Structure 1
Amino acid sequence: MNRILLGLALLLCSASVALGQRTVSGKVTDENGEALVGVTVTAPGTRAGTQTNVDGMFSLEVPANATVLKFAYTGYETQEVALGATNVYNVTMSSSASTISEVVVVGYGTQQKRAITGNVATVRGEDIAALPAQSFDQLLQGRAVGVNVNLPNGVVNNPPVFRVRGINSINLSSFPLVVIDGVPTFTGDLSGTAAANNALSSLNPNDIESIDILKDASAAAIYGSRASAGVVLITTKRGKKGKTRVQYDAWAGLTQVTREPEMMNALQYVELKNEAAANAGLAVPRFFLDTIPGRNTYIDTRWADYVYRQGFSHNHALSFSGGTEQTNYYLSLGYTNQEGMIIGNDFSRLNGRLNLDHNLSSRIKIGGTLGYTKSNNFGPQSGSLPGAAFATAGAGRLAFVAAPIVDPYRYDANGNRLPGIAGYNIASNNQLGRGKNLEQTGFYNPTIILDLNKHSSETNQVQAAAYGQWEILKNLAIKTQYGIDNINVENITFWNPYHGDGQGQNGYAANT
């Protein structure tokens, strides 16, 4: 009897649930009557949802408390339809005005996206503003079709390999022309030292409104042969009518080496090297375990700990924007400080930008932009930059070729490090000190090189432009613009006379 009552109760519950739901269906089309595939159909406030099929049809079970159907599709205005007594809902969706009316910058002015016939890719500034990088070009990889961006190494602020439509010339640069607010700017590595200095790092990514990449013949409409590798047009943010808007953005992060090779310890090194010496017919042993005076453990140096580090980076951006019927303004200040994974590899940038637009009348408009950037780049000889692949003093290499059986420093009888230059374990033949070993134990001692050598590249850059525009007729205007991009770079190199690249020259210093 109890089982019968339980079955009846379950049946009644199922019936009540079924009576509380209904199935709605219909077809979704565009303004031309074409079926839209993949339109998301949901009932807000419930878990009910589905998508239209290849014929634009949908079928959805909705609970009794559902009051609205919501239709959403990329490139079309989201639409809501109130649920009534009927169960069939045929919906016509309209193209999104923001999509078809989006203004894209091209070589000869601006156009609405729907009117463009050329090959143009657009990246919004908001998509890259919060990403941790020194320059915007490093952030474009995978964000635009036909654009290939690769970082060749981990040196902070090293220019990436930037290609639009591949390599276009054997003897000319394949780097695209970069234009900021109508003014062509510098590209490439401005440094003449081991500290990389990407020219495009002078622009704060937080100041970018949009990036338009011209990939076909329209790129040469104004810029001629300079556009043979494509054109990257950057539009910085402008003020909009309304109350002053204050915005602060910041990020912080850590940088460290990944997939670091596991090196032999001191005992393994001695065993293997002595075995190799014996196989070569040399008298053995030639390599020995050693200790530091006053300490009971063997020397077992992990050289990567003296070259690599966990770097801390942080970025701050503060902006003010607003405007009236006549004047719009945008003011920004930014500061970034980034530490690379190699000790001594640092990048800092301080920048400011002011954009103004003013309507003299209903047909005449004037405006301008002024940006200033001061950046400092520091870096050791890493062996990673172009032309330095075989540098014996490359820090990235020294971390893995020095023997673990010698210490980077020298000590007195009490185990205290000796003062000054005497405290570095270096030999008179400009090699890493051997200790009591009979054979070479490495090339250079990276600690003295990282401590005493200096490579820096400092940049001061001013970017400015002023324009005047006269609207002769509706949709017909004349615009003239004058711009400057002035950059001053100071490169400093100092090599100590005791060890490394400067030892054979009794030291070296240059300021260019």
Structure 2
Amino acid sequence: MLGKLFSNTKISFQILGNQIVLKKLDDTKIESIATADQRQVEGIVTDKAGMPLIGVSVMIEGTKTGAVTDYEGRFKLNGDATGKFISFSNMGYKSKRIAYGGQSLMKVVLEEELNELEEVVLVGYGKQKRSEFSGAVSSVSAKDIVQASTGTIGFDRALGGLVKGIQVSQNTGRPGAPVRINIRGLTSPLSSVGGGLNQPLFVIDGVPFNFDALNGANPLSTLNPNDIQSFDILKDAGATSIYGSRGANGVIIIKTKRGKKGQPARVNFNYATTIAKPISTVGALNASQYKNFYNQLINNSVDAMNNGQLDPFTAFDLQNIAKVDLDFDTFIVSNDGINDDYFGTANTDWNKEVFRTMAITKQANISLSGGSQKTNYNFSTSFIDQEGLTIKDKMKQYNLGLSLDTDLTKYVKIGTSVNVGHTEANSGENDILNQFTINTSIAGARPDLAPRDANGKLVGQAEYQYGFMTLEPNPLMRLGNKTNNKAYNFIGGAYIEIEPLKDLKLKAESNASIFYNKNSSFIPKTVETDFVFFPNDSYLAEADGLVSNITTNLTADYNFNISLNHKFGILGGAAWDRTNFNSSSHFYSGFPDDEILNNATSARTIIGYSTNKLDTGLYS
């Protein structure tokens, strides 16, 4: 009775025998009592192995109180959870509900989703449980994609080691170079005749792409590996039949992450720095070995000429390198050793000059996701700065992704998603005349000559062919090309989904994509072999390509359970697909300067140009 009487007052009471003692409380004590009445729930979330789980969503059900576990798996909830359930959820783990019993520290263990038969795979315009699908499908988890793509530009380079039957190859190891992906090898040996590479059809968030028709554009470079939610590969005819002839080489379906309804805002940030170095390089000779090699070469050549195995007039080709002479009376070739003046005093390791000892890649990703009871969102951005193994190769890439879904009513849902990206790559190698690779140049370079003269200018290497001197560019000069590739990618779409009847869903979606590539490759005079009687020239090639696509899909999906073990489903719809392709190429020569006046307007000669335009459509 006294407790009720003096509640919410500044008076406390104490019963001493037959007496009741009243005391006045100050404000500080009242505040401490009120604070003590508030409950704070603390805990730690781990997996079965006892490892802390980061980013687990923790909610007191029936309230708006929630938290996210930190890097130690710990969380704090400021609210009274007595008599309520606390829910724990995290992607890749089974959700859990625990009735709060007043414990001071909760210890929660989440189990991984290990049942592959219950795993949902994307198939055509819908999805099925793996246990209910009979076609050949392989899936890659989001965790494996992120782990394999760390330190690389684009996750597509890591697919070959993640999925059986997937072959990934590259024509060059330069940063940003496009890859070639094949499922179960080459489907047709004749497809390359028309420019095709037997690559599969890619479907990213409902937008289809055929790499063979994109003129080098790479839609996968638009995607941040951290944004991928599911990655499914349809391999056989049964799995790809809904795509018709477009799926003849297989289909890869990619779905990006979206936020979760009822999840508090979650910010994820990660940064990685990786270091690369050449695994093996060309085994070139040092200066002493190079000189001994030529000494042995001259001796063997002279012996061959005197034994009738080699034309004795070959001696004239060797006189710049060695002291050889031909006696016209006896046709005997004499040899007084090599000319020391021909050989330099340097001892150059061209591998160290050309390749970086440490090629550094920096990657940063940040994302914001969450949702209310009706709306979910996901925003992400990423940045990659990669150095190539050769000193002139480098690349930068920027990606931005956004998705939003909301329930307008109980029966109407709308959503949209956008992915944009920009890539710029620079290289010292050229994309016009590929007759020389840097390794070939190192193998033929002279180690007895220095890369630069006393003024720091790169110098060529004198060689004699058929008695005539030529200046061959050294490997660093071979990297003097100015190759620049820029790519701009956009993928976006929106949808509306209506459920007019139970188990019946009507969906209309429209997607658009734009890929623009601009490439230029300038070959200066110093990069080419300088023949005495045939002066070389400089060249420039410029090319650009624009590919745009608009896809509209209308589907009706009706699914219901006949019994506990039997289901019925039917899918019908219509699709419109329109693709426009435009490209142009221009070739120039004769530039007055290799450093400044090397754009197209400074060219003396227009060698040629070409344009291409193609419109395709599909209605099904």
Name the SS for the 2:299 alignment partner.
helix
Distance change >3 Å, CA 156–CA 95, structure 1 → 2: closer
Counterpart mapping for 1:417-496 below 5 A: 417-418=455-456, 423-426=457-460, 432-433=461-462, 443-451=472-480, 453-496=481-524
User: 1:95-140: CA deviations, max 9, x gaps?
Assistant: 9796443321111311122221211111112212133221222111
Distance change >3 Å, CA 470–CA 502, structure 1 → 2: farther
Query: Of 366, 370, 373, which residue of structure 2 is paired with 1:322?
Result: 370
Q: Is the 8 A contact 2:291 2:343 kept in 1?
A: no
Query: Of 345, 357, 368, which residue of structure 1 is paired with 2:393?
Result: 345
Q: CA deviation at 1:153?
A: 4.6
Question: Are 1:179 and 2:203 counterparts?
Answer: yes
TM-score normalised according to structure 1 size = 0.70
The structure in which a higher percent of residues are strand is: 2
Question: Which residue in 1 is equivalent to 2:380?
Answer: 332
Count residues with an aligned counterpart.
395
Q: Is the 8 A contact 1:158 1:198 kept in 2?
A: no
Distance change >3 Å, CA 499–CA 139, structure 1 → 2: closer
Q: Partners of 2:511 and 2:292 in 1: how far apart?
A: 67
User: 1:120-170: CA deviations, max 9, x gaps?
Assistant: 111112212133221222111232232233445532233333221221112
Q: CA deviation at 1:286?
A: 4.2
Counterpart mapping for 1:279-294 below 5 A: 279-281=300-302, 282=315, 283=324, 285-286=337-338, 288=340
Q: Partners of 1:105 and 1:152 in 2: how far apart?
A: 31
Distance change >3 Å, CA 245–CA 272, structure 1 → 2: same
Q: Partners of 1:76 and 1:199 in 2: how far apart?
A: 30
Distance change >3 Å, CA 485–CA 289, structure 1 → 2: farther
Q: CA deviation at 1:509?
A: 2.2
Q: CA deviation at 1:321?
A: 0.3
Counterpart mapping for 1:89-488 below 5 A: 99-130=116-147, 131-151=150-170, 153-172=172-191, 173-185=197-209, 187=211, 198-241=218-261, 242-281=263-302, 282=315, 283=324, 285-286=337-338, 288=340, 298-309=345-356, 310-381=358-429, 388=434, 391-392=435-436, 394-411=437-454, 417-418=455-456, 423-426=457-460, 432-433=461-462, 443-451=472-480, 453-488=481-516
Q: Which amino acid aligns with 2:340?
A: F
Q: Is the 8 A contact 1:290 1:406 kept in 2?
A: no
Provide structure 2 residue ranges, at least 5 long, that are not aligned to the other structure: 1-47, 51-91, 95-110, 192-196, 303-314, 316-323, 325-334, 544-620
Name the SS for the 2:121 alignment partner.
strand
Distance change >3 Å, CA 406–CA 199, structure 1 → 2: farther
The farther-off stretch of 496-505 and 321-330 is: 496-505
Q: Partners of 1:141 and 1:368 in 2: how far apart?
A: 31
Q: CA deviation at 1:386?
A: 11
Q: Partners of 2:488 and 2:146 in 1: how far apart?
A: 22
TM-score normalised according to structure 2 size = 0.58
User: 1:175-206: CA deviations, max 9, x gaps?
Assistant: 111110010135369778xxxx7452222211
User: 1:12-34: CA deviations, max 9, x gaps?
Assistant: xxxxxxxxxxxxxxxxxxxxxxx
Q: Which amino acid aligns with 2:520?
A: I
Q: Partners of 2:235 and 2:382 in 1: how far apart?
A: 31
Distance change >3 Å, CA 261–CA 107, structure 1 → 2: same
Provide structure 1 residue ranges, at least 5 long, that are not aligned to the other structure: 1-41, 45-74, 78-93, 293-297, 412-416, 427-431
Identity of aligned residues (%): 30
Q: Partners of 1:471 and 1:501 in 2: how far apart?
A: 71
Q: Partners of 2:542 and 2:182 in 1: how far apart?
A: 32
Q: Is the 8 A contact 2:528 2:536 kept in 1?
A: no
Q: CA deviation at 1:439?
A: 8.5
Q: Partners of 1:223 and 1:288 in 2: how far apart?
A: 71
Q: Which has the higher contact order (CA 8 A, sep 6+)?
A: 1
Q: Is the 8 A contact 1:103 1:110 kept in 2?
A: yes
Distance change >3 Å, CA 263–CA 460, structure 1 → 2: same
Q: Partners of 2:529 and 2:233 in 1: how far apart?
A: 43
Distance change >3 Å, CA 95–CA 320, structure 1 → 2: closer
Q: Partners of 2:250 and 2:178 in 1: how far apart?
A: 17
